[in-house]
Structure formats: structure tokens, C-alpha cells
């Protein structure tokens, strides 16, 4: 018997193909050796997937809240009663307050084509309010569209013909391990640009340690040197770039001395970057993490210009859209255009009383959204009926009226694409323990609501076959091989001029400057708080199962000295949003003026998480993208 194919469905670049086995009631996993990106190994989190699958604390039966919201008082109930209650409440809310008072809040907790999108069919059918996503990569999406008309960059397998990759604001060794290993295997030089000396920085051939928010200046400085030393690809630029002359004049006025002072990167280092980057025709992996700040959008716009200067058509890695998955989501079921609310403004919309019914799946907003004190207060003080469908009793589930147990991807059929590479992979059921899939619950709810439309009852396999067919991909091949590569079609830049826009007409239309602009930002408190990814979690996931999480606050010794702090001291970290207590670790990896907490753990296990401090401000001109790295705090010994 061949082993079933699984896919790690987590919100992660790598989207690994897994060979799994269920024997003697235990799950075993290993990386698919045939898959060119997975290459036969799993990351440290992926290797522990069986621990997650078999976890004692997996939800087994639906729960109905019996006590105060957040108190953890629930009673167990049957699926029949739970579904009946959710359907009744949903119907009543729509009758009393209209369909737009219902919001479905979901994200990429599971990226399976069916299990990500199918539940949205129900909400489209009901004409409810939908999310305008902004928590993760939004500013960069907008910025790359400003320059290239798309955020879809290079196929990472094309790296085999390249010599240099720059990890710019991305901790690839933790967040894109298979990509990092691929770059090494292909023999590329690896550089890193980051505020923090990350594990990626430590493994890079060169590391450029930059001050927060100054990436736009650094990129412009590099562009200046490339242009003024005549290192750019003149023929390519002449033919394919819109606004080169104006851009050249724009960077002319910039002094390298100023760039160096602001960024903290020496003039010689800036020149070295420019010369070697041009000579080796570097490619840039533009990170998601670093663009979640007030400066993020402009920074991505500036960085995006660099590979084009040296002759790359799409010389960046950011997003990959290989297949059209819209059929699974079924927006065609709507009869009214969707009201969309910015994802980052959930608390604000609840406070305004506009949301009466909230259905959450594939997401843990009570860990992952910034400004948790505000969000939790909004949920407690307003009349919102909350339903959460999750594998575990997360913080979000804890604040819900009804909790529905989800199963895991090991327990159902699905297919996945990746936002990093060009493979679509098959995920087959291996075993069954507890809970129901996102699509199963959708069908049950549709039935309880008395909906007749056949699109709400399509099976997972029907949806998958239809999506594959619409993309010209073969189901039989996928079933046999476990994955297939979606070929890349020739493409051009989808900008107003049809060229790469150094002078961005789209940005101008939104009231932005035609060229990326530097601004320095200051907070009310002295220390900049960064809350990046942790090695062993995916945002909040695996906190309860994998262990090894690191809740410490990392501080530079100079900031510690100023505050009389020693390694291991318990401190209070505070600002106007909240205050948390944890232990301090002194490290030179974090520069002076910056402190670091890893992102979004389970507050119910730790008593706090980093998002009790982060800011929920958004960047309006960049799609209301999140800006929680623009958070400032202070620290004192307790
Ligand atoms: N292990 C692990 N892997 C993950 C995830 C996880 O939680 N854990 N999450 C997944 C998800 S959802 C995503 S979106 C990706 C995110 O993947 P990454 O983008 O790699 O993740 P982050 O750690 O959020 O951010 C990257 C870096 O940005 C740096 N940074 C912050 N501010 C600045 C700045 O102003 N300039 C520069 N140059 N750098 C700055 C931080 O120090 C950090 O090292 O990873 C995915 N993979
Ligand atoms: N401070 C700070 N906050 C951040 C970030 C940061 O860098 N710093 N990163 C942000 C980023 S990049 C992102 S993408 C967001 C992510 O934010 P979220 O989308 O909230 O991500 P997760 O914490 O991974 O939560 C996913 C949830 O889905 C559940 N789940 C998994 N599989 C299934 C399934 O098949 N069905 C159902 N129903 N549920 C399932 C998991 O158990 C988990 O509780 O967080 C953001 N929050
Ligand atoms: Mo993300």
C-alpha cells in the first residue's frame, strides 16, 4: 500500500508534502523525498505534527457557554443541538439586524483550498459582511502592485540560475526553512537585512543591520549608488521602466551621509551592497514581517525597484498565485455586493455595535490581533453572539458562545497551493479522531437553515475536481504523484503604463508621492517593540502542543543598564495599551532602542501575549494593512 499523501496546511511559505502513516493508532510523518521543495525533510514544527494530532486537549464535543464570557464555563452538547442553536441564532440575527450584522472572521489556520474557502459559500449565500484582509502581507501587496502591477514574483526554483539572494526583513531560516536550504543547495550567496541579528542573519554571508523603518532610505541609497556608478542595466531600464529619469533626479538629491546616519549602515557598506548586488544580479526575498509597520508600504516600494534596476523582470519573491481558487469560495452565490470591513478593525466595528454575530474559523484573533485589551473589552461589553470552530479551546473559543470541534487535515481530503512555490499538492485522509471539517460544518449549517442551493452541498472531491479542471490540471496525475507543478505562463507588468513603474501612477492616485518617501516615526515611549515569529509556533498554533516556546523579553545590554536590569530579572513591559510581566534576556542581537517579544502565544496559558501591547492602527493608503511593529513601550524592574 502506498502511504497517503498529506500536506502541511499551515500558513507558511513551504507548504510541505508529507508522507504519513497511521499504525497501531499512532500517526507518523516524514517529508516527501520526491517533492522538490520539501526535499524529504520537515521543519522542527512539522516533525512534531503527530503530537498536535494526538493532543489530549483536542476538542471532542461541541460546547455551549454557561458562565461569563472568557470564564471558561461551558457545557458539552451534541452536534445536533449545537448546529441547531447556531442556525437559529444566525436566522434570528439576520431577521432582527439584517445580514450585514453577521461577520465571518477567518484566516489561514488551514490553507486547504476546500477548508479555507468552502465555509465562505454559506456567508456569501447569506449576503453577510466579509473581511478585507490586512493582518499579514497587505502593505507589501499594494506596494508591489504599485511598481509591478502584481505581487507575484519569481519561482524559487529559478534561483538555480541566480547567484545572490537577499533576505530583506524575513527570518527565512525559521519561516521559510525549505527556501533557505534550497538557496544554499543552489550555491547562492545569502545576505540578510534585518533590525535583529536573527538566525537567518547569523547564517548569512553578509548581514546589514538596519534601524527600524529606515529600509526605504537604505534602498534609495543603494539605488543611487547603482545609478550614479552606472551599474544598472541600461538597455533593460530604457525599454521597460517608467519614470527612470525622474527617479534618477529624485535619488540625486539624497546624501549618502544622511542615509548612513539614519539607517545605521556605513557608507562603505551601502556601496558594497550596491556594487555586489549589481555585479551578482541579486534577487530579493521581500519579507512579510517587516512591512507590518507605518513605514512598511513605502519600504517595499523602494526595495522593489532594486532588482528591476539591474535587469530582472520579476526579481523578487513575495507572493505566488498559481491557481484560481475562487470557485471554492463561491462569491457568485451573493445577490448583493459584499460589505467588507478591514480585518484590523474588528474591535472598532464591534464597539460601534455593527456586528451582532461573529463566526470564526481557521483563526485565533484573540491571540493574533493587536491591542487585545481593547478587543476583549469590546467582546465583553457588546451584544455579539460568537461561534468559533477550532481544533482546540483557544483564547477565541474561550470567549465564544458556541464552540465547534474541528478536525485536522490528517482527517479529510483537500488540495493546497503555496504562496511561495509553484506546486499544488494532494492531502488525503489518514485517520479519524475528533471533530468535523470546515466544509462538513458548513453543509450541516446550510441544512439546518433550510437552504436548498446545491453549491452548499457539493462534496470536497467535487469542489477539488472542479477547481483543478478550471485550472487545466489533472486529478488523476495529482492522485498518483501527490503533487504537480503549475507551469508559469509568460507575463508582463500589469501597471497603467505596462512597464515597471519607478514613478508609480497607482500610488499617485492614492495620494502618495510618485517615489517612495522616507519618514521617521516616534512613539510616546522610548523603546520600539518588535514581535516577530517564533521558531516553534505558527502564530499562536502549537503553543499548547509543541512546548519550547520562549516568552522572554530580549533587551540590548545598554538599555538594560540604563534601567538597572540584569539577565533573568522579572520586568513589566508597558504602554498605553497594556502591561505584561516577563523575564528579561540581555542580548546584543537586538540593537539599542529595540526590544523583542515573540508573537501571539496563548494568553490563557501565559497570562498575556505580545498583542496586549501592540498597536491596532492601520495604514490606510496601503489597504489598511497592519502596523503592529510600530509599537513603543518602556520596561521597568518589578
Ligand atoms: N516558525 C514560524 N514560521 C512561520 C510563522 C511563524 O509564526 N513561525 N508564520 C508564518 C506567517 S503567517 C508569515 S506571514 C511568515 C512571516 O515570515 P517573516 O517575514 O520571516 O517573519 P517575521 O519574523 O514576522 O519578520 C521578519 C523580520 O522582520 C524584522 N523586522 C522588523 N522590523 C523591521 C524593519 O523595520 N526593517 C527590517 N529590515 N526588518 C525588520 C524582524 O526583526 C524579523 O526578523 O512566516 C510564516 N512562517
Ligand atoms: N504581534 C504580532 N501579531 C501577529 C503577527 C506578528 O508577527 N506579530 N503575525 C500576524 C500574521 S503574519 C498572521 S498571518 C496572523 C495569523 O493569525 P491567525 O489566523 O489567528 O493564526 P493562528 O494563530 O495560526 O490561528 C489559526 C487557528 O486556526 C485553527 N485551525 C487550524 N486548522 C484548522 C482547521 O482545519 N479548521 C478550523 N476550523 N480551525 C483550524 C488553529 O487551531 C488556530 O487556533 O497573526 C498575526 N499576528
Ligand atoms: Mo502571516
pLDDT at 548: 85
Task: Assess whether the C-beta atom of 192 lies below 6 angstroms from ligand 1.
Answer: no
Please state the atom number of ligand 1 nearest to the C-alpha of residue 136. 14
Task: Assess whether the C-beta atom of 531 lies below 6 angstroms from ligand 2.
Answer: yes
pLDDT at 289: 94
336 class by beta-carbon count within 10 Å (0-12 exposed, 13-18 middle, 19+ buried)? exposed
How would residue 547 be classed by pLDDT, with cut points 50, 70 and 90?
A: confident
- Mutating to test ligand 1, I would choose from 43, 165, 171, 217 the residue with most ligand atoms within 8 A of its C-beta, which is 171
Looking at the chain, the whole-number percentage of residues with pLDDT higher than 90 is: 99
pLDDT, one tens digit per residue, over 293-335 is 999 999 999 999 999 999 999 999 999 999 999 999 999 999 9
Residue 1 has pLDDT above 70, yes or no: no
User: Whose alpha carbon is nearest atom 14 of ligand 2?
Assistant: 136
Task: Assess whether the C-beta atom of 46 lies below 6 angstroms from ligand 1.
Answer: no
pLDDT at 409: 98
Q: Which cell numbers in the block locate residue 180?
A: 533557505
Q: Give SS3 for 430.
A: coil
Mean pLDDT, residues 102-118 taken together: 98
Task: Assess whether the C-beta atom of 221 lies below 6 angstroms from ligand 2.
Answer: no
pLDDT at 3: 82
Task: Assess whether the C-beta atom of 363 lies below 6 angstroms from ligand 2.
Answer: yes
57 class by beta-carbon count within 10 Å (0-12 exposed, 13-18 middle, 19+ buried)? exposed
Question: From the CA of 187, how far away is ligand 2's center (Å)?
Answer: 34
Where in the chain are the domains? 63-135+329-409+433-475, 138-318+497-509, 527-637
Question: From the CA of 136, how far away is ligand 3's center (Å)?
Answer: 4
- Mutating to test ligand 2, I would choose from 10, 51, 362 the residue with most ligand atoms within 8 A of its C-beta, which is 362
What is the average pLDDT value for the chain, to the nearest integer?
97
Superfamily of domain 138-318+497-509: Dimethylsulfoxide Reductase, domain 2 (3.40.228.10)
- Pairing of β 625-626 and β 618-619: antiparallel
Residue 628: nearest ligand to its CA? 2
- Mutating to test ligand 1, I would choose from 197, 287, 367, 528 the residue with most ligand atoms within 8 A of its C-beta, which is 287
Residue 2 has pLDDT above 80, yes or no: no
Residue 234 has pLDDT above 80, yes or no: yes
Is 527-637 the same fold as 138-318+497-509?
no
pLDDT, one tens digit per residue, over 25-55 is 999 999 999 999 999 999 999 999 999 999 9
User: Whose alpha carbon is nearest atom 17 of ligand 2?
Assistant: 368
Task: Assess whether the C-beta atom of 210 lies below 6 angstroms from ligand 1.
Answer: yes
CATH number of 63-135+329-409+433-475: 3.40.50.740
- CB burial readout 484-497, b (16+ within 10 A) else e: bebeeeeeebebee
Task: Assess whether the C-beta atom of 126 lies below 6 angstroms from ligand 2.
Answer: no
Task: Assess whether the C-beta atom of 627 lies below 6 angstroms from ligand 2.
Answer: no
Mean pLDDT, residues 427-431 taken together: 97
- Mutating to test ligand 1, I would choose from 111, 533, 631 the residue with most ligand atoms within 8 A of its C-beta, which is 533
pLDDT, one tens digit per residue, over 441-499 is 999 999 999 999 999 999 999 999 999 999 999 999 999 999 999 999 999 999 999 99
Distance CA 612, CA 601 (A): 11
pLDDT at 210: 98
pLDDT at 205: 98
Range 527-637 classified under CATH 3.30.70.260: no
Mean pLDDT, residues 9-38 taken together: 97
pLDDT at 243: 98
Q: Which cell numbers in the block locate residue 107?
A: 484566516
Please list, in sequence order, all residues whose beta carbon lies within 8 angstroms of the beta carbon of residue 504, skipping any fewer than 6 positions away.
146, 147, 243, 301, 495, 512, 514, 515
For residue 553, the cross-strand partners are 584
How would residue 61 be classed by pLDDT, with cut points 50, 70 and 90?
A: very high
Question: From the CA of 92, how far away is ligand 2's center (Å)?
Answer: 29
Question: From the CA of 369, how far away is ligand 2's center (Å)?
Answer: 9
Distance CA 373, CA 379 (A): 10
Please state the atom number of ligand 2 nearest to the C-alpha of residue 368. 47
Task: Assess whether the C-beta atom of 364 lies below 6 angstroms from ligand 2.
Answer: yes
Amino acid at each position: 500500500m502506498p502511504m497517503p499523501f498529506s500536506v502541511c496546511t499551515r500558513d507558511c511559505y513551504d507548504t510541505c508534502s508529507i508522507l504519513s502513516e497511521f499504525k497501531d493508532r499512532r500517526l507518523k510523518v516524514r517529508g516527501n523525498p520526491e517533492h522538490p521543495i520539501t526535499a524529504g525533510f520537515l521543519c522542527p514544527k512539522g516533525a512534531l505534527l503527530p503530537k498536535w494530532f494526538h493532543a489530549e486537549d483536542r476538542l471532542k464535543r461541541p460546547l455551549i457557554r454557561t458562565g461569563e464570557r472568557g470564564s471558561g464555563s461551558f457545557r458539552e452538547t451534541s452536534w445536533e443541538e449545537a448546529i441547531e442553536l447556531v442556525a437559529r441564532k444566525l436566522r434570528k440575527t439576520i431577521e432582527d439586524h439584517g445580514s450585514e450584522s453577521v461577520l465571518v472572521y477567518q484566516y489561514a489556520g488551514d490553507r486547504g483550498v476546500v477548508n479555507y474557502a468552502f465555509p465562505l459559500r454559506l456567508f456569501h449565500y447569506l449576503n453577510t459582511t466579509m473581511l478585507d484582509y490586512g493582518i499579514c502581507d497587505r502593505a507589501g501587496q499594494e506596494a508591489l502592485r504599485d511598481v509591478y502591477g502584481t505581487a507575484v514574483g519569481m519561482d524559487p526554483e529559478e534561483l538555480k540560475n541566480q547567484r545572490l539572494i537577499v533576505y530583506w526583513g524575513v527570518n527565512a531560516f525559521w519561516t521559510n526553512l525549505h527556501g533557505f536550504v534550497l538557496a544554499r543547495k543552489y550555491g547562492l550567496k545569502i545576505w540578510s537585512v534585518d533590525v535583529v541579528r536573527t538566525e537567518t542573519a547569523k547564517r548569512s554571508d553578509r548581514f546589514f543591520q538596519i534601524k527600524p523603518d529606515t529600509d526605504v532610505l537604505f534602498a534609495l541609497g543603494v539605488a543611487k549608488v547603482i545609478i550614479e556608478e552606472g551599474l544598472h542595466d541600461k538597455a533593460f531600464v530604457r525599454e521597460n521602466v517608467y519614470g527612470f529619469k525622474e527617479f534618477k533626479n529624485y535619488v540625486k538629491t539624497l546624501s549618502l551621509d544622511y542615509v548612513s546616519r539614519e539607517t545605521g549602515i556605513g557608507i562603505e557598506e551601502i556601496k558594497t551592497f550596491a556594487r555586489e548586488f549589481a555585479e551578482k544580479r541579486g534577487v530579493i526575498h521581500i519579507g512579510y514581517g517587516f512591512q507590518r509597520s507605518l513605514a512598511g508600504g513605502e519600504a517595499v516600494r523602494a526595495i522593489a525597484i532594486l532588482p528591476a534596476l539591474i535587469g530582472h523582470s520579476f526579481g523578487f519573491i513575495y507572493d505566488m498565485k498559481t491557481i484560481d481558487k475562487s470557485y471554492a469560495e463561491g462569491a457568485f452565490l451573493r445577490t448583493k455586493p459584499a460589505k467588507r470591513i478591514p480585518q484590523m478593525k474588528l474591535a472598532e466595528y464591534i464597539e460601534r455595535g455593527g456586528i451582532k454575530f461573529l463566526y470564526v474559523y481557521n483563526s485565533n484573533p484573540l491571540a493574533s490581533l493587536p491591542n487585545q485589551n481593547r478587543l476583549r473589552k469590546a467582546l465583553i461589553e457588546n451584544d455579539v453572539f460568537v461561534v468559533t470552530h477550532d481544533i482546540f479551546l483557544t483564547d477565541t473559543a474561550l470567549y465564544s458562545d458556541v464552540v465547534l470541534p474541528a478536525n485536522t487535515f490528517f482527517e479529510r481530503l483537500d488540495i493546497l497551493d503555496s504562496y511561495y512555490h509553484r506546486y499544488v499538492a494532494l492531502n488525503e485522509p489518514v485517520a479519524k479522531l475528533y471533530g468535523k471539517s470546515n466544509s462538513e460544518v458548513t453543509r450541516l449549517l446550510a441544512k439546518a437553515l433550510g437552504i436548498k442551493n446545491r453549491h452548499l452541498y457539493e462534496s470536497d472531491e467535487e469542489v477539488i475536481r472542479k477547481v483543478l479542471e478550471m485550472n487545466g490540471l489533472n486529478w488523476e496525475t495529482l492522485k498518483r504523484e501527490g503533487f504537480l507543478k503549475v507551469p508559469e505562463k509568460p507575463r508582463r507588468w500589469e501597471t497603467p503604463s505596462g512597464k515597471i513603474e519607478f514613478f508609480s501612477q497607482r500610488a499617485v492616485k492614492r495620494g502618495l508621492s510618485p517615489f517612495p518617501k522616507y519618514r521617521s516615526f516616534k512613539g510616546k515611549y522610548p523603546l520600539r517593540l518588535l514581535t516577530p515569529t517564533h521558531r516553534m509556533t505558527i502564530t499562536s498554533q502549537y503553543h499548547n502542543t509543541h512546548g519550547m516556546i520562549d516568552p522572554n523579553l530580549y533587551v540590548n545590554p545598554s538599555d538594560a543598564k540604563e534601567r538597572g536590569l540584569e539577565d533573568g530579572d522579572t520586568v513589566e513591559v508597558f504602554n498605553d495599551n497594556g502591561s505584561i510581566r516577563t523575564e528579561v534576556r540581555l542580548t546584543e542581537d537586538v540593537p539599542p532602542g529595540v526590544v523583542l517579544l515573540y508573537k501571539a502565544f496563548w494568553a490563557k496559558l501565559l497570562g498575556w501575549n505580545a498583542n496586549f501591547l501592540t498597536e491596532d492602527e492601520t495604514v490606510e493608503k496601503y489597504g489598511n494593512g497592519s502596523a503592529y511593529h510600530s509599537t513603543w513601550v518602556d520596561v521597568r524592574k518589578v
